[in-house]
């Protein structure tokens, strides 16, 4: 699928949430990114790109993909 990065940056391997309207409809992760038919590891705000997505929902036109990093921190008492 194709799209434009509107905020921040995205990296290959990041997790994604798929937003349709105002509702989260699925999730997955970025398998590959391309710009000008070249594989990329990182893209930034304003870049147009192709995204290969693996997830539990079919992405439709006008869906919003929100990429994020999930971090786990060890609790300290």
For residue 1, pLDDT over 90 is answered with no
For residue 74, pLDDT over 90 is answered with no
Cα separations in angstroms, 27 against 16, 33, 37, 70, 75: 5, 17, 25, 13, 27
Residues 10/31, Cβ–Cβ less than 8 Å: no
Lowest mean pLDDT segment, chosen from 19-23, 58-62, 70-74: 70-74
Domains and CATH numbers, the chain: 2-68 (2.40.30.10)
Check residue 77 and give its pLDDT: 76
């Amino acid at each position: 699928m194709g799209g434009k990065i509107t905020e921040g940056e995205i990296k290959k391997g990041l997790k994604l949430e798929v937003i349709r309207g105002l509702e989260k409809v699925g999730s997955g992760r970025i398998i590959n990114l391309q710009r000008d038919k070249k594989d990329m590891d990182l893209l930034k705000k304003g870049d147009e790109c192709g995204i290969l997505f693996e997830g539990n929902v079919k992405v439709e036109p006008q869906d919003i993909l929100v990429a994020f990093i999930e971090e786990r921190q060890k609790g300290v008492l």
